[in-house]
């Protein structure tokens, strides 16, 4: 290219001040911009033209026509300009640039058309091109005007026509998203937002406006971008983990955006360090201008100063955009990492092997709540590990330019400080690891306490559990927290002190070694740089500890995600098999199974079993013989060592302890299968649930609480059975499912569901049972002892052999009549049992009629088709249990802050504020010292007299650092610890005093979230953010004070600025607060679902529904992400606006300084001081708003904790004036006087007007149909429910006058649901530790457990796993018996105490009960099986909450019209008597 201008190709003009040469402008600047856009436009057009066009609306079509018309005119004008130059032979500097323009604009025209029809957003290329091009043409015009415009007036006019019309098309281009014809209302605005909207986060503004005027709800939020849905995020991580370790996999899966963020951060860092350089240029320019004011020949151009000011403004704006885009990307990556990890952890938990199930569910929940969140936090600040060193390097290059070699004294100090930092970080890492263990320990204790709360209350063990938890909390967690606080405080002081030390030493060295005076234009840019250094240094220490925490978390996560899984080939499943009647459904051949991979002895040995379609197989055996293990082996839970196991078709499973979801009864029964009304009603009828459902508030659409605690044990068992029946699987496994129901209900269920005429008669079914009630109706029986199938065959063939175990059983326990409708452990919980009318179960005649009609119905379907799984499970938003989680709205009440400060100590808080303000004052005084020193040096022209200034500066700097350390220690070690202890203790105390009904209505996940997540915030985060807020406020005040006093006109600018800030803050605080709350509330369902799923793993696996549950988990995560994403963007929205105003401040101050300079003259030192502080206002004011909202967001945790402490408690634990003297009760006489009660106010009475006297030492049997009020009687005795009227007297003492602790510790109970805790056997039998080993052994011997305990490696110190999963149900019940035997109280309540034990053990227990050990004990036995109470002194028959009959068994049986007689008859006991 030829240059036709005498100045040639140089860049800067030698003839004009502050201007470029024409050839450079046309040949490089304009041509370069055009070439770049042309190439990009061609490339993008080629990509777009192969895509299919969208259908666009009419308005959008008009927009497109207008844009193309304008661009066509622009191309024509540009072409005309070129032709004019050629035809009129005008001499222009670079002709090719005029050829290039129309060509490029034509490609832009084509690109505009394709972009509009193929995409939904305005083109970023065009939005950037037009403003830059206008600026370039403006610079070119200025040059032409200054060299003489006359010959070029037409060319300039045509070029401006081209640019002007192009700019109009640019305005149309930027007018927002394209209006598509089929656009859906609910769409993420990010998908259609243009580049400016994305950079400034304007797409958030509609939500912000809404948030300022009304409370935001979940419905107002936008849906996720498809790529961010957890299904896709989980799959990305899964694919990556197949090839790499966890660290690498996370980078591969989510690293793309993170890499872009790193690039943006580098750009932002470079621009941040350009500011002090520009400041230095401006100050140097002012100095020169000031000196040459009256010498117009040598005076620099006025334009130059303004140009530097504009450059500072532009650099500031670009820096803002880069920084916020960087933050948005890192936060989004963090969110993706968390979602991916939670999905991976959940999916893994569903396939964990039994060896790994030793991990308590609390630990697995911690992986999800703490470790995944830690990695999320690392993503947000992790890049500072790269950016920190870069910033430090840039700072030192800049400082070298300012101060020369003296700057490297500072480098030396910093290099020395790095190993110190690593050393402190290592100490902190060790402490943090230990703290994690302590927190795990406490969470585990808490989850156990919540799981077993009913037992804890019945046994009056609250104090012992509070002691256990307080021991971990106060003596381990808080002690360590104090140490962490001290180390962190000194660490922070050290890091804030280092930049001051660096500045001091650098200035001192420069002053001593350099002859050049240290004047304002050196000192203030240097101070700016030192301030910039403070951030990377302070953050660097935080990030190192974040990285350390993350490394610990990654190790924990890796060990979990690579843990052993269930043996995939433990069984062979032929999935799509359609077995016909008589085909083999299950075949086990010589198989050995173990629970643990490493076990030497198999749990089940040499198992050989075959089950055909239509067959009913019974599995019998003693407690702990391996009956449930056999079913577990069939569903693939155990490890197969030898032999083979084949299943043809699907499996349904009803476990021994029914697992009920927090959902409606119908959802529990359908269990993700399609709803078939006809069959559903058959199932309800068959499982005898119709009556129960009629009594629930919303029928089968009533939502049952977590673990089904609004249902009685029997109802839960039957719902679990109904689920197994409804699935219509080829093989149905029933684990002792008739145990929890009354004998007549058991008969009904057996006949109508399990038996040969039942709903399942055409399917293969295996029933594990301890009962011999229906033994004669089984097609095949197997007897297990010690894991070996001892004998199997048909009922008759086994009975024919007198030596067979089954023959002995039948002989020993009657003739297969229902003398044992044996029963399994269930939490029969308050509110539970629903009253059933007597007529519910028809008499025998009607019963057989019903069976006949059912058989008729069944005949039409030879075998029911399998239930089909729903393709997409309805996304009903999880309601979070029976009570909606408490969520405040609006501002956090001032009362919450007051209570927090009170908990933290008012004096401590005031002292902290004083030291913080003093620290800032010292820092300002140090800066002012420098200003006067600079002035002094300028006046005398050298550095003499410096020691006085240096001494003062050094003293102020040192005192600033020390005061910082003191204020941090006050906050961390004194205030934070006090409040943490107070809040935790009062929350735990109120939880332990809450009535049982509170736990039934509140999901465990929610309470655990309070004790783990919210307590973590109170312990470690709140102190930090409050300290941060006070510090940034102090900094802001100091900045305003300094600038205002040095440069009063600035205060005028503060007024509009303050107005804008307050407006933005109003928008921001209102919206961000609600978003944070919604985020917290939507996080709980993830935890609740997680812990709920962990409890029902075997059921989920048996029904083969892992994928359905994973999908449900993903929906909950997405629901949370939808709430989390706006809560990040809201911060960016704020930041962009505040920083833009900050940039305007810089521009205003610089323009004010320039105009003052041109008119009256101004001192460079003053401008330097004002501008260096102005450069800091942005970040400081930004941090104030950010810290204020962080404090408000985190104080929500205190608000939630305080709300928890307000739960209304049950009656006092101890009443001093009502405290019984000595041992009580002495006799054990019980009297009910006109006693009525209800579960909660507003519900019906469950016991009505009961009056009865029970004499001391009598054995009373309590019976009645399901829901008659048997369990309510027991709860009334223990005051789990309080009387509405009347009272109960024990030994003539009114129990309402006695403290709950005294009352409950004076009674003994063997509950229906045996609750065990993680720990040793000894701790389980005697948690309070008040009995000697000898008494424990005697109790174990009486409970028939001595042999078993002696066989364990640790004997009494043998470990018990969480929930007692290492013991069988029967052994758990016997263990509860041992507890009662140890207590030796005068009143013993047995609630279905022997339901899960086999008949022989049951007989032995009955012998103990009637033996000398309990001879002088008053005993109440609640029984479903009447044979256990036939030998009682008296029998109490309950009916619909009233006493129906109370007499000796003999008298009641003699009266054939009595209810007891009819019950005995139904149970088949009349013939025996």
- DSSP secondary structure string, 1352-1369? STTGGG-EE-GGGTTS-H
The burial of 1220, by beta-carbon neighbours within 10 Å (0-12 exposed, 13-18 middle, 19 or more buried), is given as middle
Could you report how far apart the first and last alpha carbons of the chain are, in Å?
A: 121
What local confidence, expressed as pLDDT, does residue 1330 receive?
79
Spatial CB neighbours of 839, under 8 Å, sequence gap ≥ 6: none
Instruction: Please count the other Cβ atoms lying within 10 Å of the Cβ belonging to residue 55.
Output: 10
Name the phi and psi angles at 995, rounded to 5.
Answer: -70, 160
Q: Which of 1230, 1241, 1224, 1210 is nearest to 1273 (CA)?
A: 1230
Q: Which of 1284, 1282, 1314 is nearest to 1295 (CA)?
A: 1282
What local confidence, expressed as pLDDT, does residue 360 receive?
61
SS3 644: strand
Average pLDDT, 10 consecutive residues per value, the chain (1473 residues): 81 81 88 93 90 82 89 93 87 87 92 87 88 91 85 88 91 67 64 86 87 84 87 90 88 90 91 84 83 78 86 90 92 90 89 72 79 85 83 83 82 76 82 88 87 85 88 90 88 80 84 80 77 70 77 87 84 81 87 85 88 89 85 88 89 88 88 88 88 80 66 82 90 85 82 87 88 84 88 87 82 52 34 36 42 47 64 45 55 82 88 93 84 78 81 90 90 88 90 86 83 86 88 84 73 79 82 81 83 85 89 90 88 86 82 80 74 74 78 84 87 81 83 86 82 88 81 85 88 85 85 78 82 85 82 82 73 81 84 71 76 83 78 86 88 87 78 52
Spatial CB neighbours of 896, under 8 Å, sequence gap ≥ 6: 1195, 1198, 1199, 1202
Structure letter (DSSP) for residue 52: P
SS3 640: strand
Confirm if 1435 and 1260 have CB atoms less than 8 A apart. Answer: yes
> What is the bridge-based pairing of β-strands 651-654 and 731-735?
parallel
Structure letter (DSSP) for residue 240: H
pLDDT digits (tens, 9 = 90+) for 111-153: 998 888 888 888 889 899 999 999 999 989 988 888 888 888 8
Dist CA 532 CA 536 (whole Å): 8
Dist CA 1234 CA 1252 (whole Å): 9
Dist CA 1203 CA 1197 (whole Å): 10
Helix axes 977-993, 478-513, angle to 10 degrees: 160
Please report which residue ranges of 860-944 form alpha helices under DSSP H: 894-904, 906-940
Dist CA 277 CA 271 (whole Å): 10
What local confidence, expressed as pLDDT, does residue 358 receive?
62
């Amino acid at each position: 290219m030829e240059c036709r201008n005498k100045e040639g190709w140089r860049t800067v003009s030698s003839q004009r001040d502050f201007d470029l040469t024409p050839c450079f402008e046309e040949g490089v600047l304009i041509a370069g911009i055009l070439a770049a856009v042309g190439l990009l436009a061609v490339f993008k057009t080629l990509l777009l033209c192969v895509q299919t066009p969208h259908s666009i609306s009419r308005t959008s079509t008009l927009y497109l026509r207008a844009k193309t018309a304008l661009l066509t005119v622009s191309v024509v004008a540009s072409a005309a300009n070129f032709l004019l130059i050629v035809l009129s032979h005008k001499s222009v500097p670079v002709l090719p640039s005029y050829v290039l323009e129309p060509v490029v604009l034509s490609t832009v025209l084509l690109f505009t058309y394709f972009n509009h029809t193929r995409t939904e957003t305005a083109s970023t290329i065009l939005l950037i091109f037009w403003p830059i091009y206008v600026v370039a043409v403006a610079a070119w015009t200025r040059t032409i005007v200054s060299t003489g415009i006359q010959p070029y007036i037409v060319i300039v006019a045509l070029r401006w026509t081209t640019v002007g019309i192009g700019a109009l098309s640019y305005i149309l281009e930027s007018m927002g998203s394209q209006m598509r014809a089929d656009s859906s209302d609910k769409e993420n605005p990010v998908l259609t937002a243009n580049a400016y909207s994305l950079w400034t986060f304007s797409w958030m503004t509609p939500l912000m406006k809404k948030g300022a005027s009304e409370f935001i709800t979940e419905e107002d939020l936008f849906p996720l971008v498809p790529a961010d849905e957890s299904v896709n995020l989980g799959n990305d991580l899964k694919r990556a983990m197949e090839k790499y370790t966890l660290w690498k996999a996370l980078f591969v899966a989510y690293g793309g955006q993170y890499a872009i963020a790193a690039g943006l951060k580098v750009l932002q860092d470079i621009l941040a360090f350009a500011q002090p350089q520009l400041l230095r240029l401006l100050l140097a320019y002012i100095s020169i201008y000031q000196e040459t004011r009256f010498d117009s020949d040598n005076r620099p151009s006025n334009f130059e100063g303004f140009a530097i000011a504009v450059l500072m403004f532009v650099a500031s704006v670009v820096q803002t955009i880069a920084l916020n885009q960087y933050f948005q990307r890192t936060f989004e990556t963090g969110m993706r990492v968390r979602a991916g990890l939670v999905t991976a952890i959940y999916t893994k938990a569903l396939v964990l092997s039994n060896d790994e199930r030793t991990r308590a569910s609390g630990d697995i929940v911690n992986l999800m709540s703490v470790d995944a969140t830690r990695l999320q936090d690392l993503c947000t600040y992790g890049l500072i590990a790269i950016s920190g060193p870069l910033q430090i390097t840039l700072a030192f290059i800049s400082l070298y330019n300012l101060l020369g070699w003296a700057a490297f004294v500072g480098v030396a100090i910093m290099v020395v400080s790095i190993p110190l930092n690593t050393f402190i970080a290592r100490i902190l890492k060790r402490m943090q690891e230990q703290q994690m263990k302590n927190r795990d320990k406490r969470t585990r204790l808490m989850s156990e306490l919540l799981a077993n709360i009913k037992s804890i209350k019945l046994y009056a063990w609250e104090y012992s559990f509070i002691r256990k938890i307080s021991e971990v909390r106060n003596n381990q967690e808080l002690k360590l927290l104090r140490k962490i606080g001290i180390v962190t405080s000194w660490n922070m002081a050290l890091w804030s002190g280092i930049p001051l030390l660096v500045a001091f030493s650098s200035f001192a060295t420069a002053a001593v070694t350099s002859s050049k005076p240290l004047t304002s234009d050196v000192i203030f840019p240097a101070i700016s740089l030192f301030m910039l250094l403070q951030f990377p240094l302070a953050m660097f220490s935080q990030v190192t500890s974040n990285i350390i925490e993350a490394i610990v978390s990654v190790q924990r996560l890796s060990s979990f995600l690579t843990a052993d899984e269930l043996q995939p080939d433990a069984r062979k499943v032929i999935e799509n098999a359609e077995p016909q009647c008589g085909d083999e459904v299950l075949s086990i051949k010589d198989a050995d199974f173990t629970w643990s991979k490493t076990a030497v002895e198999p749990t089940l040995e040499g198992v050989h079993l075959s089950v055909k379609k239509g067959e009913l197989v019974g599995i019998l055996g003693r407690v702990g013989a391996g009956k449930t293990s056999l079913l577990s082996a069939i569903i693939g839970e155990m490890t197969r060592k030898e032999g083979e196991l084949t299943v043809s078709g699907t499996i349904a499973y009803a476990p021994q302890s029914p697992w009920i979801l927090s959902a409606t009864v119908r959802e529990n029964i359908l269990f993700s299968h399609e709803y078939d009304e006809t069959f559903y009603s058959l199932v309800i009828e068959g499982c005898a649930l119709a009556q129960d459902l009629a009594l629930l508030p919303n029928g089968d659409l009533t939502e049952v609480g977590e673990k089904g605690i609004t249902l009685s044990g029997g109802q839960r068992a039957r719902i679990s059975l109904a689920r197994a029946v409804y699935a219509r699987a080829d093989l149905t496994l029933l684990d002792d499912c008739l145990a929890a129901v009354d004998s007549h209900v058991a008969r009904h269920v057996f006949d109508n569901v399990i038996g040969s005429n039942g709903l399942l008669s055409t399917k293969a079914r295996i029933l594990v049972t301890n009962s011999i009630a229906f033994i004669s109706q089984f097609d095949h029986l197997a007897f297990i002892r010690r894991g070996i199938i001892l004998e199997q065959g048909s009922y008759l063939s086994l009975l024919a052999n007198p030596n067979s175990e089954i023959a002995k059983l039948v002989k020993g326990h009657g003739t297969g009549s229902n003398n044992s409708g044996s029963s399994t452990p269930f939490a029969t919980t308050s509110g539970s049992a629903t009253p059933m009318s007597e007529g519910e179960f028809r008499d025998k005649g009607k019963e057989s009629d019903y069976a006949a009609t059912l058989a008729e119905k069944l005949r039409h379907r030879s075998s029911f088709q399998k239930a089909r799984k729903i393709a997409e499970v309805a996304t009903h938003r999880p309601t979070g249990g029976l009570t909606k989680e408490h969520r405040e709205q609006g501002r956090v009440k001032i009362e919450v802050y007051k209570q927090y400060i009170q908990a933290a100590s008012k004096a401590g808080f005031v002292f902290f504020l004083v030291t913080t303000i003093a620290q800032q004052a010292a820092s300002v005084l140090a800066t002012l010292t420098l200003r006067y020193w600079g002035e002094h040096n300028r006046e005398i022209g050298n550095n003499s007299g410096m020691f006085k200034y240096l001494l003062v500066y050094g003293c102020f700097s040192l005192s600033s650092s020390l005061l910082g350390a003191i204020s941090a220690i006050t906050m961390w070690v004194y205030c934070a610890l006090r409040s943490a202890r107070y809040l935790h203790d009062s929350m735990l105390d109120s939880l332990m005093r809450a009535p049982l009904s509170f736990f039934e209505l509140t999901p465990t996940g929610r309470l655990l979230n309070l004790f783990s997540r919210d307590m973590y915030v109170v312990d470690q985060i709140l102190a930090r953010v409050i300290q941060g807020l006070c510090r940034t406020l102090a900094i802001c005040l100091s900045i305003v004070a300094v600038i205002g006093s040095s440069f009063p006109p600035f205060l005028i600018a503060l007024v509009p600025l303050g107005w804008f800030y307050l407006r933005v803050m109003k928008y921001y605080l209102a919206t961000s607060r609600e978003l944070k709350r919604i985020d917290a509330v939507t996080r709980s369902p993830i935890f609740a679902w997680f812990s709920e799923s962990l409890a029902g793993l075997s059921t989920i696996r048996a029904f083969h529904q892992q994928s359905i549950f994973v999908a449900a988990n993903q929906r909950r995560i997405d629901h949370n992400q939808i709430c989390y994403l706006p809560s990040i963007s809201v911060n960016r929205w704020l930041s962009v606006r505040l920083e833009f105003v900050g940039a305007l401040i810089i521009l205003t101050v610089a323009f004010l300084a320039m105009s003052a300079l041109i008119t009256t003259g101004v001192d460079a030192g003053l401008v330097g001081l004002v501008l260096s502080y102005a450069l800091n206002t942005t970040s400081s004011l930004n941090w104030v708003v950010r810290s204020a909202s962080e404090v408000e967001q985190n104080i929500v945790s205190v608000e939630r904790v305080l709300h928890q402490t307000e739960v209304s408690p049950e009656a006092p634990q101890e009443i001093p004036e009502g405290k019984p003297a000595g041992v009580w009760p002495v006799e054990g006489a019980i009297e009910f006087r006109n006693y009525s009660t209800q579960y909660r106010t507003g519900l019906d009475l469950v016991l009505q007007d009961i009056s009865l006297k029970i004499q001391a030492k009598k054995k009373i049997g309590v019976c009645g149909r399901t829901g008659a009020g048997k369990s309510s009687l027991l709860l009334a005795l223990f005051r789990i429910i309080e009387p509405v009227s009347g009272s109960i007297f024990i030994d003539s003492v009114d129990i309402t006058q006695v403290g709950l602790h005294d009352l409950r510790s004076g009674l003994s109970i063997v509950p229906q649901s045996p609750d065990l805790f993680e720990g040793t056997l000894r701790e389980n039998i005697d948690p309070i530790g008040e009995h000697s080993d000898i008494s424990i052994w005697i109790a174990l011997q009486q409970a028939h457990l001595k042999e078993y305990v002696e066989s364990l490696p640790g004997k009494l110190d043998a470990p018990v796993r969480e929930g007692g999963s290492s013991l069988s149900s029967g052994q758990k019940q016997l263990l509860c018996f041992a507890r009662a035997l140890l207590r030796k109280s005068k009143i013993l309540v047995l609630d279905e105490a022997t339901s899960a034990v086999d008949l022989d053990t049951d007989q032995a227990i009955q012998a103990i009960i009637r033996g000398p050990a309990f001879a002088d004990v008053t005993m109440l036995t609640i029984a479903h099986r009447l044979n256990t109470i036939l030998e009682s002194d008296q029998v109490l028959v309950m009916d619909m909450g009233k006493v129906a009959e109370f007499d000796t068994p003999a008298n009641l049986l003699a009266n054939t019209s009595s209810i007891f007689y009819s019950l005995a008859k139904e149970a088949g006991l009349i013939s025996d008597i």
